[in-house]
Amino acid sequence: MELEGRHVLVTGASRGIGASIAEAMAARGARITVVARSGDALAEVAARTGAVAITADLTDPEVLEGLLARVEAEAGPVDVLVNNAGVDSTGSLTAMTPDQVRRTIDLNLTAPVELTRRVIPGMVERGGGHIVNVSSLAGYGCLPGIGVYSATKSGLTHFTAALRAELRGLPVRTTVVEVGIVQPTDMAASGLAYPPFRDAWNRLKRLGIMRDVRLEQLTRAVVRAVERDRRHVRLPRRAFTLSALPEASRRTTEWLLTGVAPRVPPG
């Protein structure tokens, strides 16, 4: 997809990955809408990118229900949706409060599914669109302290694969971003502050399976994926083995269902 003049909606865009993606898309000539809870930080990103800024808590069902209509009323139809908003909630499961569990699931999984559900009909009607779901390698390899986070990211990756099958034959593309620790980001600092997670991560780094990903590297890869209609962004590349087996089962199912209609015919 050519990004010049396209309207890109980025959630979780007040800092880190979301802010960086918004800036990179704006540099390609896209029109940007940024969404996050942090109003002041979001305003700074909007000032740098010329974006429309909308302060919203995506864990609030009423806010989530009206968000797309609000965005499109202010900035026009969405051509690219980047579901980036998320929280890590690193720590012992038994130390988490019910609200922390609920918020992690709502923000990391419910919000992207619901925004995707709402944006697809307009994209199909206009003849094109692209959905980017920022997942994690934690969806494949679970480390101590991120059980709920890992479950949401595994769900998001699997949802994207199912969505791709459902959209077969329609002009809407998907990209799932599977990434390890991205530096520098607040989420990386939060995760590494929990000793069991930090020790496990350092073990994987010593074994050569993992390494930190630079924010700029990830941003470039996401922009290229949208421009070239790529299904996946996987970083670091050396971690490919973690995702190869689960992805093989999804691809095998996709192959086995060749010729099966993905949608109920009209009428």
Catalytic positions are: 149
177 pairs with which residues across the strands?
Answer: 134, 233
Instruction: Kindly report whether the peptide bond that precedes residue 121 is cis, defined as omega within 30 degrees of 0.
Output: no
Helices (H), the chain: 16-27, 39-49, 61-75, 98-105, 111-126, 147-166, 186-192, 195-206, 215-227, 240-256
Show Cβ contacts of residue 177 under 8 Å, excluding neighbours closer than 6 positions: 132, 133, 134, 135, 218, 221, 222, 225, 232, 233
DSSP labels, 113-146: HHHHHHHHHHHHHHT-EEEEEE--GGGTS--TT-
156: its two tokens? 């998001």
Residue 69, class by beta-carbon neighbours within 10 Å (0-12 exposed, 13-18 middle, 19+ buried)? exposed
Longest pairwise C-alpha distance within the chain: 59
Q: What is the CA radius of gyration of the chain?
A: 18
DSSP-based three-state secondary structure for 28: coil
Q: Are 20 and 219 in contact (CB under 8 A)?
A: yes
